[in-house]
Amino acid sequence: MDRLKFDEHLCTTCQTSDCLVKCQFINLDRETAHREVMKIIKGGDSSVLRDCVTCYACEEYCQWGNHPFYLITERREEKGILTASRAITNQWINMCEPQGKYKVGEIKEKALSCCFIGDLRRLARGKLFEDVRSSYILGPEFFCEVVYLHFAKPSVIRERLPKVIENINQLGIEQLICMHDECYGSFTSLAPAYGIEVNFQPIHYFEYLFEKLRDLKSEIKPLNIKAAYQRPCSSRLSPDKYPFVKEIFGLIGVEMVNRKYQGENALCCGEVLRMVAGYEVANDIQRKNVEDMVQSGAEYGVFNCPYCQMALSEKVYKKGIKPIHIIDLCKMALGEE
């Protein structure tokens, strides 16, 4: 806990306690929210430590740059409050442990981080990625570790993240295009919050896509479709990148439909929550998400995170909405279906 930069004074004087007041899973009025935050800070026993479903959203709700969710996570671990069963928690810790089985391409100063998700490498094809496709990193040695927030295991993050950053540095990478929100959030939110130095420039892939699409503007055939965007939990760690969705949609002729669950009110895909909050919570989130997409009149359901896509694709497809990753949507506009 020592290394988490959390400003207690900010919370003492905070008039909003928005971190908990806006929480979609815990129903607290402002006064109670403030009291619970102060209890958590002091290391007391707060109901939040049991009721939080690990949606990450309070990291965005706090407008002061404090880290309420990281603090909740620290306190849970200190008190031995597991979010998932011990077996599932240990399975995740072991599954992502570096074992020397990583893949590295022909590394240049600029490289793609595919984290530990092979599907991200598949997505990085075509004109949009022709300059950088061969320069990539993939595997547990480059895993961003953010998932351990869900499992209340920040000690794993503190232990492994500096080594991941060191592995990237050793390759001489100066700019790292993060193909997943979680990686970008790890290097731009989590690492600084723990005082872990990042010596390369993380670039969110939305920014990369936006620039490339602008370069390729003359080759774009506007899609003229309506699409709903599914915002993932990890995007709460980089809310400043959300406006790029609309910008990218604008460049490829996609109308972003209005949804109830969008922007700050987004609901995650629910899949990891199945393990930490239970089936009932996860099924409810997924049902609300799918119904909301249907009501929005979207023809396409656009995903940013491959896990969200895996969790919701079949469900939206059954309702007549075509699921697609935002990168594949951009390729479609370039005639690369």
Instruction: Find the shortest distance in angstroms from Cβ 21 to ligand SF4.
Output: 8
Q: How far is CA 238 from CA 47, 101, 167, 241, in A?
A: 27, 29, 23, 6
Instruction: Find the shortest distance in angstroms from Cβ 34 to ligand SF4.
Output: 7
Binding-site member from 40, 62, 156, 183 for ligand SF4 (CB under 6 A): 62
Cα dihedral 96/102/106/112 (nearest 10): -10
Instruction: Find the shortest distance in angstroms from Cβ 71 to ligand SF4.
Output: 8
Binding-site member from 40, 46, 49, 66 for ligand SF4 (CB under 6 A): 66
Name which of 79 and 226 has its Cβ closer to ligand SF4. 79
- Alpha carbon 47 to chain centroid, angstroms: 25
Name which of 256 and 267 has its Cβ closer to ligand SF4. 267
Q: How far apart are CA 307 and CA 179, in angstroms?
A: 13
Residue 19 engages ligand SF4 in binding (rule: CB under 6 A): yes
- Alpha carbon 246 to chain centroid, angstroms: 18
Q: How far apart are CA 67 and CA 54, in angstroms?
A: 13
Tokens at 18, concatenated:
């928005």
- Looking at this protein, which amino acid is placed at residue 161? L
Among 22-30, 132-140, 210-218, 286-294, the segment contacting ligand SF4 (CB under 6 A): 22-30
Residue 37 engages ligand SF4 in binding (rule: CB under 6 A): yes
Residue 149 engages ligand SF4 in binding (rule: CB under 6 A): no
Q: How far is CA 217 from CA 209, 213, 226, 317, in A?
A: 12, 6, 20, 30
Name the residue among 40, 267, 276, 18 with its Cα closest to residue 153.
276
Residue 55 engages ligand SF4 in binding (rule: CB under 6 A): yes
Residue 237 engages ligand SF4 in binding (rule: CB under 6 A): no
Residue 68 engages ligand SF4 in binding (rule: CB under 6 A): yes
Q: How far apart are CA 28 and CA 104, in angstroms?
A: 47
Residue 25 engages ligand SF4 in binding (rule: CB under 6 A): yes
Among positions 93-112, residues that touch ligand SF4 (CB under 6 A) are none
Residue 141 engages ligand SF4 in binding (rule: CB under 6 A): no
Q: How far apart are CA 100 and CA 97, in angstroms?
A: 9
Binding-site member from 28, 40, 49, 58 for ligand SF4 (CB under 6 A): 58
Residue 64 engages ligand SF4 in binding (rule: CB under 6 A): yes
Name which of 57 and 326 has its Cβ closer to ligand SF4. 57
Among 23-31, 110-118, 211-219, 296-304, the segment contacting ligand SF4 (CB under 6 A): 23-31
- Looking at this protein, which amino acid is placed at residue 188? T
Residue 84 engages ligand SF4 in binding (rule: CB under 6 A): no
CA Rg, the chain, in Å? Answer: 20
Q: What angle do CA 97, 198, 68 make, to 5 degrees?
A: 80
Name which of 18 and 328 has its Cβ closer to ligand SF4. 18
Residue 56 engages ligand SF4 in binding (rule: CB under 6 A): yes
Residue 10 engages ligand SF4 in binding (rule: CB under 6 A): yes
Residue 11 engages ligand SF4 in binding (rule: CB under 6 A): yes
DSSP 8-state class, residue 64: T
Among 47-55, 210-218, 254-262, 294-302, the segment contacting ligand SF4 (CB under 6 A): 47-55
Q: How far is CA 101 from CA 42, 97, 134, 182, in A?
A: 42, 10, 18, 21
Name which of 22 and 325 has its Cβ closer to ligand SF4. 22
- The answer to whether 198 and 192 are in contact (CB under 8 A) is yes
Q: How far is CA 245 from CA 103, 152, 208, 314, in A?
A: 30, 30, 12, 23
User: Interface with ligand SF4 by CB under 6 A: which residues?
Assistant: 10-11, 14, 16-19, 23, 25-26, 37, 48, 52-58, 62, 64, 66, 68-69, 72
